[in-house]
């Protein structure tokens, strides 16, 4: 789930709790969730948090970093030291956890014990991972090295996207926006929202987009991502912030998850199909 706005929200929430805190111990409950040696992170102090695309980076004072990808169902939940059991009763988005006090939950994969409290990495589907690697090697990491520009920087502009589309004339615009090597951080939700804002059907072939449409699309992508950040991300099922709270962006979505409901602009029913292998939402009347 977590796309760029959700990763950004998690970082904002975690920073105040983790910065300058020491990692005392790391408990690995699911081996596959951790890549690298946990001893390279324990006994170190957190110096800062940052984001690259959808991934979260926690820098440590021993020249190592945690590179984290939440994939679809990953959560980073922080419980400050001394939190009472009643406060720990939080809704994590699935029935097994809904009314259970439990941290760790059934889906906790890694536990970081810090001086300020405990950080739980939960991940129902086990697709997510945390890598521990030297800070200097993050840029060379096999995952990070392939990422395209950040969508909220000037590097992502109409000229850049135009050149990308020329090299991929026959695929769909949606497939391009989901490709992290083209632009890093956009996922299924914000792709559908940005294409609606730009009035472009998701399955349009790239060589049919006009310059005006490309320009509008770039600006709509930046707009929906900023709106997502403003509303602390989208919570459809599992996404939660560090305190287990839901984001608010789902209340502002115009097409994602709105199949058969009236379009907020023209009242025609929102359509759903499969484009680029993903559930895709659009308005046949508003988008061309």
Active site residues: 2-3, 54, 278
Tell me if 252 contacts DNA by CB under 7 A: no
Tell me if 239 contacts DNA by CB under 7 A: yes
Tell me if 46 contacts DNA by CB under 7 A: no
CB 165 within 8 A of CB 253: no
Among 157, 180, 219, 285, binds DNA (CB under 7 A): 180
Shortest distance, CB of residue 212 to DNA, whole angstroms? Answer: 22
Q: Is 250 exposed, middle or buried (0-12, 13-18, 19+ CB in 10 A)?
A: middle
Distance CA 123, CA 217 (A): 33
Gyration radius of the chain's alpha carbons: 20
Among 12, 27, 89, 126, binds DNA (CB under 7 A): 126
DSSP state of 97: H
Among 69, 109, 131, 216, binds DNA (CB under 7 A): 69
Rounded to whole angstroms, what are the CA distances from 255 to 5, 45, 180? 17, 43, 22
Tokens of 98: 């809904």
Shortest distance, CB of residue 38 to DNA, whole angstroms? Answer: 20
If the CB atoms of residues 125 and 136 are measured against DNA, the closer one turns out to be 125
Side-chain-facing half-sphere of 268: CA atoms under 13 Å: 10
Among 25, 83, 115, 237, binds DNA (CB under 7 A): 237
Backbone angles phi, psi at 42, to 5 degrees: -75, 150
If the CB atoms of residues 108 and 287 are measured against DNA, the closer one turns out to be 108
Tell me if 234 contacts DNA by CB under 7 A: yes
Tokens of 104: 């760790």
Tokens of 157: 């502009």
Contact code string over 132-171 relative to DNA, x by CB under 7 A: ----------xx--x--------------------xx-xx
Tell me if 260 contacts DNA by CB under 7 A: no
Shortest distance, CB of residue 55 to DNA, whole angstroms? Answer: 7
If the CB atoms of residues 146 and 212 are measured against DNA, the closer one turns out to be 146
Bridge partners of residue 172, in order along the sequence: 205
Distance CA 148, CA 141 (A): 14
Distance CA 101, CA 216 (A): 47
The residue ranges that bind DNA (CB under 7 A) are 1-3, 6, 32, 53-55, 69, 71-72, 93-96, 106-107, 124-127, 142-143, 146, 167-168, 170-172, 175-176, 178-180, 187-189, 206, 234-239, 274, 276-279
């Amino acid at each position: 789930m977590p796309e760029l706005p959700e990763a950004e929200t998690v970082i904002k929430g975690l920073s105040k709790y983790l910065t300058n805190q020491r990692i005392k111990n790391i408990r690995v409950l699911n081996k596959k969730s951790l890549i690298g040696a946990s001893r390279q992170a324990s006994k170190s102090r957190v110096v800062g948090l940052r984001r690259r695309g959808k991934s979260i980076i926690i820098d440590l004072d021993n020249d190592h970093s945690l590179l984290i990808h939440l994939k679809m169902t990953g959560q980073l939940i922080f419980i400050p030291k001394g939190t009472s059991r009643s406060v720990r009763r939080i809704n994590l988005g699935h029935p097994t956890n809904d009314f259970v006090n439990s941290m760790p939950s059934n889906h906790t994969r890694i536990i970081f014990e810090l001086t300020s409290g405990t950080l739980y990495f939960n991940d129902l589907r086990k697709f997510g991972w945390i890598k521990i690697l030297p800070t200097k090697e993050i840029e060379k990491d096999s995952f990070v090295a392939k990422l395209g520009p950040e969508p909220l920087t000037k590097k992502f502009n109409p000229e850049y996207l135009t050149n990308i589309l020329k090299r991929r004339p026959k695929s769909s615009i949606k497939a391009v926006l989901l490709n992290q090597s083209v632009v890093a951080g956009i996922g299924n939700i914000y792709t559908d929202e940005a294409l609606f804002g730009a009035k472009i059907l998701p399955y349009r072939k790239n060589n049919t987009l006009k310059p005006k449409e490309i320009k509008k699309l770039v600006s709509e992508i930046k707009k929906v991502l900023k709106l997502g950040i403003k509303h602390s991300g989208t919570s459809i099922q599992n996404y939660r912030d560090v305190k287990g709270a839901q984001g608010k962006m789902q209340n502002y979505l115009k097409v994602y998850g709105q199949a058969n409901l009236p379009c907020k602009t023209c009242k025609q029913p929102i359509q759903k199909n499969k484009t680029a292998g993903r559930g895709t939402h659009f308005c046949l009347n508003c988008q061309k």
